Amino acid sequence: MTNNLMLFEPSDLPQFPKVQEKPFKSLRYPVWSEEKANLIREYIRLFTYVTKHGAYIDGFAAPQQRSMSEICSARLVLETEPKRVTRFWLCDLDPKGVALLHDIAAANQSKRRRIHVIGGDFNLTVSDILASGEITAKRATFALLDQRTFECAWETVVKLAAFKPSLDPTTTKIEIFYFLATGWLDRSIAAVRKPETAEKLDRWWGKSDWRALLGMESIARANLLVSRFKEELGYKHAHPYAIHSRRHGGRTMYHMIHATDHPEASPLMLRAYRKVSGRADADLTPTQIDMGAWWSEVL
């Protein structure tokens, strides 16, 4: 069996003008922390325009504030129309969060869907997900790694990036959203005192030089992570997107790293970012965008 983990099947994609990849500059309109889940939902909406199918892995799926389940990314993705994503893995370590995910899954079940709610450490359960046999050549796959700070081990990211159920060298990687806790990373690193905490950061960063991140400019840290996605994990395209806080004067709270092998996925992510931030072209479909003019404006 030939397998392909491309988020977008080449035959399904609209033909956009090819543009040389460039570093992103800041966009004129911020995306706020409260809108982060809407950004994920909007990208999945664009994703289903072109793929007509898909699989969704959410490694840290329960909302941090349980009372805000209505803006939980997993809920919004499950409710996105058209409902063409048919395989879901919603994972969380906290039993209360898992119970909430079961409620969300029960409210969104259908005959065409399989929604798996998995309790436990995603760094351990990810291997079972990848071995399930449900991520196949015909199923585009997307993984959200919305960790709080240091929960996602780098080895887990490596497993997702390296997963190819075939020996075909042209098989592309699972597409990843990875959240970097920019807003409190310095404080969290500076507070490390215990050896067991240092070991946790070793697992998170994948090596022991994470103290070098302390005091770096936030965009420099984000770009360093982008370089690792490209150089260590082999992604062809990776970009950082800032997520801001309204309560702290627009301070950057997260950088979302979007990593993909497909050249047209980054423009679609930028499209989603612009819609959530209130851009005027919000009602356009992917096939209606003048990509050349669009990129020349924001890069």
pTM of model > 0.85: no
The full set of domain ranges for the chain reads 10-298
Q: So what's the pLDDT on residue 247? A: 75
The reply to whether omega before 82 is within 30° of 0 (cis) is yes
Mapping DSSP to helix (H, G, I), strand (E, B) and coil, where does residue 90 land?
A: strand
**Residues sharing a CB contact under 8 Å with residue 276, sequence separation 6 or more, in sequence order:** 31, 35, 38, 39, 42
Please count the helices (runs of H) and the strands (runs of E) in the chain: 10, 8
CA distances for 241 relative to 115, 116, 144, 237, 262, angstroms:
29, 29, 14, 13, 18
**Residues sharing a CB contact under 8 Å with residue 264, sequence separation 6 or more, in sequence order:** 8, 13, 14, 16
Provide the H-helix boundaries in the chain.
36-51, 73-79, 95-107, 122-130, 154-162, 185-190, 195-205, 218-231, 265-276, 291-298
Residue 259 pairs in a beta bridge with: 176, 238
What is the rounded CA–CA span in Å between residue 117 and residue 299?
39
Written as tens digits, the pLDDT of the chain (299 aa) is: 444 455 545 555 445 444 444 444 444 456 766 788 889 999 988 877 777 788 999 999 998 766 667 778 999 999 988 888 999 999 999 999 999 999 999 999 998 999 999 999 999 999 999 999 998 767 789 999 999 999 999 999 999 999 876 656 667 789 999 999 999 999 999 999 999 999 999 999 999 999 999 999 999 999 999 999 999 999 999 999 988 887 767 788 889 999 998 777 888 899 999 988 876 454 444 433 333 333 333 33
- Level-2 CATH architecture, domain 10-298: 3-Layer(aba) Sandwich (3.40)
Residue 115 pairs in a beta bridge with: 88
What is the rounded CA–CA span in Å between residue 174 and residue 264?
15
Two tokens, residue 16: 């956009």
